[in-house]
Amino acid sequence: MTGNSRETFGQPLHNFTPWLEAAVPLFSFGGAFLAILSEWQGILLDFHIPALGCVLASFILAYLAWIRPKKDIVALSTPIYSFIFFIVPTDFSTGVLLQVLYAVSLTLLLVRLKYRFGRPGTAALLGKELGGSLKTYVEETRDALSGTSHEVAHNAALVFVRFAEGNYEDAAQSAKTALFGEKAGDQVSPLMRAFGIIREHSTLLDTSQPRPLTYLTFSEKDSPLLAKPRLPVHDPETEFYAALDNALLLVFSAAWNASEPDRPHLLACQAFAQKLFT
Amino acid sequence: MKIGNVDVKVSIVAIAVFVIFSIFLFFASVFSPDVRSQLIWLIPGLFMLLVIPIALNYMSRSQYADIAPVYEAQAKTLRIKLINESMVGKPVRVEGVVERVHFQILNRPQYIVADRSGAISVKMFTSPDEDVKVNDIVEVIGQVIRRYIVTGDPVINCVSIRKIKNS
């Protein structure tokens, strides 16, 4: 099944990450250790052989930085430094001390990367498959949205993508088209309410207007379909913006589940959809 | 310092460089006759260390002053949470509290501005009109860009930052 193949895609890469993280200090300190050992034993070893450990470790660190959603420019540029320090011929002796210091720096950068630049793998996978809370939500709402027509689902994709791009006038227009397209002979479904909410917010955003005193929200019976539960405390501002987040996520799910050709466009906006859960 | 309508600000780094090289030149000219004979081009060279940053600041600030009204007219007021990668190139306006300020002494300030929905980096490539500090409530107008031009998270390339409320 397509769904299963998508779930497993990228998993080997993700499983491999802890090994790659371990390889950074292992290769860099390993190279330095080899250089020290050869000096002790009095073996004449070409400097480039132990230095290769630092070069390899730099490339691995850069790869680990690349697959994170937040890019660390320092870690990404380490291969350039390794090339300058260890590959480019120089008149100065780049000895064991430089390798040890370089290995320490790479290890510190790896620690910094792990704690400050997000989970590995997410950046590489964001454009290829759904992940995290979004994936769970889309799967949970699949059955409830299974009756959505392809035309409405396509409009849902248009609304979501236009909104994510900041084209609020177009988003409002697409939401209106979806609303009018479904109205005849149909009762107001949660999805239609979502279109209404997005249309209202898009119109306000397009004209940079603040929250109105009265605004559209979901009804109590829509709660099982909503990504963010209704708050027990009545705070108009929180309620107003939570309704928009819920509406956008519901529309995303409808588009994902009922309009497969639009999935690449939805995947391109996945980072925005993930943000809506916060 | 005002040149025409533009309030030019020289960074403390440019002034420090000028002062340090002035001291070097003074002592070098006192002790070395060779240096004294070269003063005719060394002194103008020294002043160029101040003139070039002033000229660059004047040019960037006058350009920002020209484009600020255009952005002001086009920018949509958004919550920070709505800013994402798909909006790269869009003019936006956000209001929030300044949580951090970096690189102010280089005349290239970078702010972390937060509202109730989230926080975002605001980069400015010239000195701002106002001295913005941590905890100031500000209105930022700028364009959404990627942190490293082609990659990285979305940040705001700030055209104008104004205090709405002091800390």
Summarize pLDDT for A55-81 with one digit per residue, the tens: 999 999 999 998 887 788 899 999 999
| Least reliable range by pLDDT among A7-21, A98-112, A184-198, B118-132 | A7-21
Kindly give the parts of chain B with pLDDT less than 70: 166-167
How distant, in Å, are the alpha carbons of A70, A137, A265 from that of A114?
11, 27, 30
pLDDT at A2: 36
pLDDT for A187 beyond 70: no
A185 compared with B119, residue with greater pLDDT: B119
Same structural domain for residues B21 and B44?
Answer: yes
- Residues in CB range of A142: below 8 A, 6 or more apart: A253, A257
- Could you list the residue range(s) of the whole structural domain that residue B85 is in? 76-165
pLDDT for A221 beyond 50: yes
Same structural domain for residues B31 and B101?
Answer: no
Exposure string over A107-116, b if 16+ CB within 10 A, otherwise e:
bebbeebeee
- Residues in A lying within 8 Å of B, measured between beta carbons: 69-71, 73, 161, 164-166, 168, 205-206, 208, 237, 241, 268-269, 271-272, 275-276, 278
Same structural domain for residues B93 and B17?
Answer: no
pLDDT at A252: 95
Q: Which of A70, A206, A269 sits opposite B76 (nearest CB)?
A: A206
Q: Considering its fold, how many domains does chain B have in total?
A: 2
- Note every long-range contact of B44-53, with CB atoms under 8 Å and residues 24 or more positions apart, other chains counting: B46/B18, B46/B21, B46/B22, B49/B14, B49/B17, B49/B18, B49/B21, B50/B10, B50/B14, B50/B15, B50/B18, B53/B10, B53/B11, B53/B14, B53/B107
* Size of the A and B interface in Cβ pairs below 8 Å: 52
How distant, in Å, are the alpha carbons of A222, B60, B111, B125, B146 from that of B108?
49, 11, 10, 5, 17
Same structural domain for residues B54 and B100?
Answer: no
A62 token code pair: 């850069």
Q: What is the mean pLDDT of residues A20-43?
A: 88
Name the burial class of residue B20, with classes exposed (0-12), middle (13-18) and buried (19+) by CB atoms within 10 angstroms of its CB: exposed
Residue B84 identity (one-letter amino acid): N
pLDDT at A72: 86
CA–CA separation, B120 and B112 (whole Å): 6
pLDDT at A245: 95
pLDDT at A3: 39
Q: Is A71 within 8 Å of B152 when comparing Cβ atoms?
A: yes
Of the residues B10, B39, B73, the one at which a domain ends: B73
Q: Where are the domains of chain A?
A: 2-124, 132-275
Same structural domain for residues B34 and B62?
Answer: yes
pLDDT at A71: 81
Looking at every residue in chain A, the average pLDDT score rounds to 84
Of the residues B46, B73, B100, the one at which a domain ends: B73
Backbone angles phi, psi at A28, to 5 degrees: -70, -50
CA–CA separation, A47 and B46 (whole Å): 44
Q: Which of B76, B84, B147 sits opposite A271 (nearest CB)?
A: B84
Same structural domain for residues B83 and B158?
Answer: yes
Q: Which of A73, A165, A268 sits opposite B87 (nearest CB)?
A: A165
Q: Which of A164, A168, A278 sits opposite B76 (nearest CB)?
A: A168
pLDDT at B166: 66
Of the residues B25, B58, B73, the one at which a domain ends: B73
Chain A positions touching B143 (Cβ under 8 A) are none
Identify the CA nearest to A52 among candidates A77, A72, A34. Answer: A34
